[in-house]
Structures are given as C-alpha cells and as structure tokens.
Chain A
C-alpha cells in the first residue's frame, strides 16, 4: 500500500537533493530580509507586543510562512508542471499505481519541502539573530508546522490540478494565499482588528497556523481551538485535494 506514493515522493526528494543549496538560498533570503527589516527596522518604534519583544513576536510567523509558502509552491507548480508540461502524470497513470498514490505522493512532497525549508529558516534565524527559545517547546511547534504544511500542500495540489494556465497559479497566490497569510497576524497582534471582524479572522486556518505556531514556540503549547482548526483544515483540504485530483483524472 502507498508503494507508488513512496516512489513518487522519492523521485521528488532526489530532484530536491540535486538543487538543495540554490533552493535554500532563495528560500532563506526572503524571510530573513523581512526579519531584519521589520524586526530591527521597527524595533525602535514597536518595543513589544503584549510583553513579547517585537523581533521575537514575528520570528515564529516568518518561519511558518516559509514552510507554508514552500509547501504551496512545491505542490502547485510541481503538479501543474507534471500534468501540463512534462506530462509525467500520464506516465504514472499507465502503471499499476492508483490516482490516490499520485496525489498522496505529491502532497507529501509539498509537506516535506515545507518542513525542510521551515526548519532551515528556523536554524538561520537562530544562528544569525538574538532570537532564542526553549527547546522543550519544539515538539508543539513542529506539530503546528507539520499540520500547516499539510494544509498548504493540499491547497497547492488543488490549484495545480484544476488550473491550466501558469499565470493563474500566480494570481491565486497574490489574491488568496498572500492575503490569508498577512491577515493572520504575522506582523501585528490580532487585537488590532475591529471587534466585529475578529471572530472571522480567528476562524481562518492561517490564524490557527501563525497564532498557534507563536504560542507553541513561545509557550510550549498550541491553544486547543487552534489545534482543532488545524487538524480539521488539514483533513478537509486532504479530502478535497484527493477528490479534485481523482475527478480531474477521470475527465
């Protein structure tokens, strides 16, 4: 069972291994720039948020953002490329593997890329900046990061499956993914939102990702409501991704 998924995941990891340094350089540069620009640039203006120093406040979100962006990018572009350009999905489909193997393999590739890239940004921020945390908080944070990567990998898979024109994947990123990420309180506390909007913002899976990750990293536990949100979102997006891919392949 899932032998095919494992083979497809193995293929993606082999390709990642070949270009790991250039990939990581590109991935690390963006969040590190944001950390330096906001964490240090605004340090004089924003001393702390709810008692947490501002650079410490934004660091967990930047690490999570790297992970979810990498998961979404890998899943969406890889699925689109294999389906529309290389047509390797067709080659997979004339072997005894099932469509479930293919979609699960691709989702796990996105998830792994998210986890690896998130971990590397975490290490870089740890080495290059004064950001420090209790290592005992790591398991809760990794759990949060894993669920977030899974959600975004599934969303990417859905986009790569249903979108035929590459520019439309870019548009989804600009119009849906980036606002979802930035609205979820990476750079500012959720209390900044008007009281009427706040309940809606709290329901967003990205809020659960970034607030949950911050609580996990700084305090060692994910608030139960965020955890439930993350688990349900991951399960729902997984079912949707598998269903969408299955439907598309049956056309």
Chain B
C-alpha cells in the first residue's frame, strides 16, 4: 500500500551547516503525524521539502507516491499547506482569498463556490466572508488560512506550527477542526506545544539537529521515558529525618526533597513493596506515581538549553 509520506535519506545543507541529516520517515495514510523539535531542529526545512518549496541536497521524498523532485506539480495538486505565518492576501476579501486558491488549483466556479460556502460555515467565518483579513483577529486569520488549504480537498495537509500566537480558545477551536479532518486526510503538523501534540497526534516524532530522536504515540513515548518510576511521597508529621532512611534503601535510585514532598526514583514497580514494608512505610501519608509529561520527554531528549 502506498504511504501518504515517505522520506528516504533526506539531507539539506547550507554550506557547512546541515539542517536535515539523512532523515528517513514513512507516514501511513489517515494518520495525524506530529513533528516536534526546538527552534532550528529542521522541522520547517522538512515541510518545505515535502511541499516542494525547497529541494533537498540529497535523497528523495514522496507524497502519495509522487516524488517531490520530479513530480512537483502532482504533489502540489494533492497537498494543502498552512504555513507558519498567515500569508493571506490583504487586498482580497476572505472569500476572494479562497476563490483565488480554488482557481490556482484549476477548479471551476461550480466546484469551488459550494466548497467555499461549506468551509466558511465550518470555520465560523461565513458572516465575515466579504471582509478583508486585516480586520480579522489572529484566530480568525488562522482559521481562514486553514480553510484556504482545504478548498481543493487535499489528501495530505501540512500544518507548520498552526496555533502559534493564538489564545487558548482559538487553539482549542482549531484543534477541533484538525480532529475532524483525520478521517478524510493525512495530517502532518509541526508544533512547539506538547499538549497540542498530545491531544492531536496519533504518532509523534521528536527531532533535533536534523535527526530523529524518538518516534511513537504520545503514550509510547511517555512510557519509554517512565521506566525510571518516579514517585512523590509525603509523610505524616515532620518530614525531616526521613531522607537518610530513604536514601539508604537499595530500591531507591535517586532522591530529591521539595518542601515537605520527597521525589523518589525507584528501580522498578517491584520496588514499591520494599518501600512500603521499610521502616518509614507506616508514616507515609500519600504516595503517588509521577507520570512523565510529553514535555518531560521532549526536554530529556533535546536538553534545557535555550536555542538561538
């Protein structure tokens, strides 16, 4: 079966700097795929290669079986693109922006008018369709860019940081639209927001310095990084004095104290019983497993240092 997206040994270099290094990937049809990474990780370069805006220095990529190197026109016929910046035409009304997009895709008025009506309704912009995008809020402009990318009913939708700069309500509204699309198309998105990737993506890849660091569902990634089994423990009464006893237990790998709460990393699930049975077990008031968030996984893989 043809994959929605295939990248084979893609490399993109600018002089001595390598933005993407021998990157390979396959994305199944109907997947919401999230590419995560800090600034400069190579995410936007990959989207630009996949949308034919940029040629790779080496390797090839295919979208729905068509090569970005030799079949760019066919690729562009099948994709919708929501770029990082709202590149709407401010001299055209919302509806005219969508009409121009339909025309550039060779659609006839009889095909694009009903589709545009449907999209304007879906994005809640029907009442503002004759207004210019400059008069829209950031969330409305973003919804219009998404609507524009969907006019020609693409098979693969690329979203480059789709909710950056939006308020929480607009973000959640946009998530709803994206969730609604998963039945009809493959979605490839990049984001900085871990909650976004967690909420939307069937599969997540974390990349940095042009290479893939981890790949799987949000649950798989968290699970892979939760093997350390971190627990938070509170004691009845004065918490002082428990530290030395806990540190001496063979099942405790590391120990931190934050206020009255001890954070323990145990050797595994089996280590919970020896902890309860230890000398401090009877004084434990509350013990809870600290689930790693996707952000913990991301920071663990890409480091805490701020990028230029």
Contact = CB atoms under 8 A, between A and B. Distances in A.
A45 B83 CA distance: 62
B53 A7 contact: no
A96 B53 contact: no
A98 B79 contact: no
Contacts of B96: 14
User: In the complex, which range does the number of interface residues on chain A fall in?
Assistant: 20 to 34
Given A14-B92, A14-B96, A86-B90, A92 B83 contact: no
A183 interface: no
Interface stretch (B4-12, B25-33, B100-108, B243-251): B100-108
Contacts of A87: 83, 85, 87
Q: A14, A86, A95: which has the most chain B beta carbons within 10 Å?
A: A95
B79 A15 contact: no
B118 interface: no
Contacts of A91: 81, 83, 87, 89, 101, 148
Contact of A94 (B53, B85, B90): B53
A3 B104 CA distance: 8
Given A15-B92, A93-B53, A96-B76, A3 B106 contact: yes
**B interface SS class:** loop
A91 B98 CA distance: 11
Contacts of B45: none
Contacts of B85: 87
A4 interface: yes
Nearest to A3: B106
Interface of A is mostly: helix
Contacts of B148: 91
A96 B105 contact: yes
Contact of B87 (A90, A95, A98): A90
A235 interface: no
A10 B105 CA distance: 14
A90 B53 contact: yes
Nearest to A11: B100
B92 A11 contact: yes
Nearest to A101: B104
B90 A95 contact: no
Nearest to A19: B91
A249 B88 CA distance: 19
A15 B91 contact: yes
A205 B255 CA distance: 82
Contacts of B79: 94
A10 B101 CA distance: 12
A7 B52 contact: no
B186 interface: no
Nearest to A95: B104
> Taking each of B79, B87, B89, B148, which has the highest tally of chain A beta carbons within 10 Å of its own beta carbon?
B87
A87 B89 CA distance: 9
Interface in A1-39: 3-4, 7-8, 10-11, 14-15, 18
Contacts of A94: 51-53, 76, 79, 81
Interface of A: 3-4, 7-8, 10-11, 14-15, 18, 86-88, 90-98, 250
Given A88-B87, A94-B51, A96-B105, 12 more contacts: A3-B106, A8-B104, A14-B92, A15-B91, A86-B87, A86-B88, A90-B53, A91-B87, A93-B52, A95-B101, A95-B105, A97-B104
